[in-house]
Amino acid sequence: MTEVQNPKSQIENPVEWQPKILAFLCNWCSYAGADLAGVSRLQYPPNVRVIRVPCSARVGPLFILSALQRGADGVLVSGCHPGDCHYLSGNLVARRRFALLKALLDEAGFETDRVHFSWISAAEGGRFAELIREVTEKVRSLGPARQFVKRLNATTIDELAREGTSE
Amino acid sequence: MNPLVSQIRDTARRLLAEGRVELVLGYETGPVPLRNAPCFVRNANEVDSLTWDHFCSLNLAVFLHGNPRRIAILAKGCDSRAIVNMLKERRLVRENLAIVGIPCRGMIDRAKVERLAGGSEIEAARIVGEKIIVVAGGRMVEAPVEEMLRNACRECAAPTPTYYDLLLDGTARSPVAVGAIDELPQSDRTKRWRRFEAEAAKCIRCYACRNVCPLCYCRECCADQSNPRWIGTSPNPSDNEMFLLMRALHLAGRCVDCGACVDACPVGVDVRCLFKRLEREVRERFGHISGADPNEKPPLATFSTTDPEDFLTTV
């Protein structure tokens, strides 16, 4: 019989697990805010991967769901403050969508602390760093994403883990 | 005979004979018990195939898409709400449409009747007074109609159409007040996820729910898109969840809770399970009631500067 490595240990003791957080930042405010945090040499956790989008309204709910499905531990969407949108009302349209997405995920029983929405202006470098710290901590406290993550053979890992305990 | 049936036939005959419409959309007795088939009447002398009872659960508004004819449609409360939303989204030409409103007494849930029959094949079903009598597996079972109605009907806030050209006489179910069933079972998050996971696990991705939905009319559904491929086509649990979530989001503020999707599902997924919450959110946050006013803008096509922001992460 070939030696199969028991996956149980990997599940229970992830080696130095770090949350992976995807951040959609609008080009005109939040991305500039992140830039300001950088040039101001502010420290914040390195767990975010930034995707620059033209406007927070460019981010469809499917972007967020797709990210979660592909194993992102958290998703952050940030745009201009209401009234400051480069396209006048993009963030106001997006605000309605995000409110509903969060409510829907809550109703389905998904851990809503993995999904965050915020407004960061180009002048708020400090607030950006603070937001990333806050989001990273919330996602870290939830642990690695399990709900909704796509696995090719969905039951295999759980079954192997169960076999591991019975032995 | 149900007095509504003669009213329906007379109305259809008159509309066709006067040349007001080219087509009447209604129901006829289908080949399967508990389920009436859609009926497309083009001649005044064919109206006698039209019928009406507790088995007219299909939402006829789905047949209006892209049909250039002048059409009269029989509309229950939910069908009329769907038509309102289609008008709101500029899917229909109002002048081509004659909406014949019918006060609805609720439609039978086939799944409930099948459970009543204990899984044996249903050979015949009839409504007698307030009871439904079913012949299944060689024996006869009966139950009160009220208990066999679909959940969507039992929770319906407007069984009598509020938007119509002509309303037939009849008594409808008494409406459930809007928001009266907001008290959702406040189970904890894990239980909610288990329920959702269990519902999604049943899905075989036949897309029947999408196809019967009068408001799911995208030329290319994002479930079918291959570039980008948003949703995998295999019945993987995660992709099923994605499909249900996606569909709920796309119908947020638009769903009229006609229950056609639940009815169409061959494996009994409670497709409505997520829609109730979204309906409440849209009503409470944006003050929008789906299917009420055709002159309103769809809630997600517009915004207000005072929309609540309680869901934001603040630092």
pLDDT surpasses 80 at A166:
no
Residue A134: CATH number of its domain: 3.40.50
Determine the distance in angstroms separating the CA of B215 from the nearest CA of chain A, rounded to an integer. 18
Which has the minimum average pLDDT: A7-11, A26-30, B45-49? A7-11
Average pLDDT over residues A96-125: 95
| Cross-chain Cβ contact A92/B237 below 8 Å | no
Q: Is residue A63 in some structural domain?
A: yes
Are B67 and B127 found together in one domain? no
Task: Give the pLDDT confidence score for residue A157 in this predicted structure.
Answer: 45
Are B128 and B185 found together in one domain? no
Collect all residues of chain A within an 8 Å Cβ-Cβ radius of residue B283. none
> Which ipTM score applies to this complex?
0.91
Collect all residues of chain A within an 8 Å Cβ-Cβ radius of residue B272. none
Q: Is residue A49 in some structural domain?
A: yes
Q: Is residue B39 in some structural domain?
A: yes
Is the omega angle on the peptide bond into residue B144 within 30 degrees of 0, that is, cis? no
Which band of pLDDT confidence, cut at 50, 70 and 90, is reported for residue B1? low
Look up the pTM and report it.
Answer: 0.90
pLDDT surpasses 70 at A3:
no
Long-range CB pairs of A121-125, under 8 A, 24+ apart, other chains included: A121/A29, A121/A30, A121/A33, A121/A80, A121/A81, A121/A84, A122/A28, A122/A29, A122/A32, A122/A33, A122/A36, A123/A33, A123/A36, A124/A33, A124/A36, A125/A33, A125/A34, A125/A35, A125/A36, A125/A37, A125/A38, A125/A39, A125/A40, A125/A42
**Interface contacts A/B by beta carbons within 8 Å:** 116
What is the pLDDT of chain A when averaged over all its residues?
87
Are B139 and B71 found together in one domain? no
SS3 A88: coil
- State pLDDT tens for residues B210-236: 999 999 999 999 999 998 999 988 888
Q: Is residue A60 in some structural domain?
A: yes
Are B249 and B284 found together in one domain? yes
Hunting for tokens 């956790």 — which residue is that? Answer: A45
Q: Is residue B311 in some structural domain?
A: no
Q: Is residue B310 in some structural domain?
A: no
Q: Is residue B45 in some structural domain?
A: yes
Q: Is residue A2 in some structural domain?
A: no
Q: Which domain holds residue A125?
A: 19-166
Q: How many domains does chain A have?
A: 1
For residues B232 and B283, is the Cβ–Cβ distance under 8 A?
Answer: no
Collect all residues of chain A within an 8 Å Cβ-Cβ radius of residue B239. 69, 150
Determine the distance in angstroms separating the CA of B108 from the nearest CA of chain A, rounded to an integer. 27
Closest Cα in chain A to B185: A107
Closest Cα in chain A to B190: A109
Are B46 and B174 found together in one domain? yes
Determine the distance in angstroms separating the CA of B230 from the nearest CA of chain A, rounded to an integer. 7
- Kindly provide the b/e burial profile for residues B130-148, where b requires at least 16 CB atoms within 10 angstroms of the residue's own CB: eebebbbeeeebeeebeeb
What is the pLDDT of chain B when averaged over all its residues?
92
Hunting for tokens 């930034």 — which residue is that? Answer: A50
Determine the distance in angstroms separating the CA of B187 from the nearest CA of chain A, rounded to an integer. 9
Q: Which of B148, B175, B197 is the last residue of a domain?
A: B148
Q: Is residue B205 in some structural domain?
A: yes
**Residue B124, strand partner residues:** B135
Task: Give the pLDDT confidence score for residue A153 in this predicted structure.
Answer: 65
Are B105 and B127 found together in one domain? no
Are B160 and B190 found together in one domain? yes
CB-based contact, B271 to chain A, within 8 Å: no
Q: Which domain holds residue B144?
A: 110-148
> Phi and psi dihedrals of B99, rounded to 5?
-95, 115
Beta carbons within 8 Å of A153's beta carbon, 6+ residues apart: none
pLDDT surpasses 70 at B183:
no
Closest Cα in chain A to B192: A109
Collect all residues of chain B within an 8 Å Cβ-Cβ radius of residue A82. 305
Q: Is residue A8 in some structural domain?
A: no
**Listed residue (A89, A81, A91, A103) closest to A59, CA to CA:** A91
pLDDT surpasses 70 at A159:
no
How many whole angstroms separate alpha carbon A42 and alpha carbon A124? Answer: 11
Q: Which of B92, B122, B148 is the last residue of a domain?
A: B148
Are B129 and B262 found together in one domain? no
Q: Which of residues 107-126 of A touch B (CB under 8 A)?
A: 107-111, 116-119
- State pLDDT tens for residues B59-105: 999 999 999 999 999 999 999 999 999 999 999 999 999 999 999 99
CB-based contact, A88 to chain B, within 8 Å: no
Are B41 and B141 found together in one domain? no
Nearest to A150 among B189, B239, B248 (CB): B239
CB-based contact, B297 to chain A, within 8 Å: no
Q: Which of residues 155-214 of B touch A (CB under 8 A)?
A: 184, 189-196
Are B193 and B221 found together in one domain? yes
Task: Give the pLDDT confidence score for residue B160 in this predicted structure.
Answer: 95
Collect all residues of chain B within an 8 Å Cβ-Cβ radius of residue A102. 311
- State pLDDT tens for residues A21-67: 999 999 999 999 999 999 999 999 999 999 999 999 999 999 999 99
Are B129 and B256 found together in one domain? no
H-only helix segments in chain A:
7-12, 30-39, 61-69, 90-108, 125-142, 156-166
Task: Give the pLDDT confidence score for residue B182 in this predicted structure.
Answer: 57
Which band of pLDDT confidence, cut at 50, 70 and 90, is reported for residue B188? confident
Q: Is residue B312 in some structural domain?
A: no
Q: Is residue B314 in some structural domain?
A: no
Are B136 and B156 found together in one domain? no
Task: Give the pLDDT confidence score for residue B138 in this predicted structure.
Answer: 87
Which band of pLDDT confidence, cut at 50, 70 and 90, is reported for residue A76? very high
- State pLDDT tens for residues B115-132: 999 888 899 999 998 999
Which has the minimum average pLDDT: B18-27, B179-188, B222-231? B179-188
B235 burial class (0-12, 13-18, 19+ CB within 10 angstroms)? Answer: middle
Q: How many domains does chain B have?
A: 2
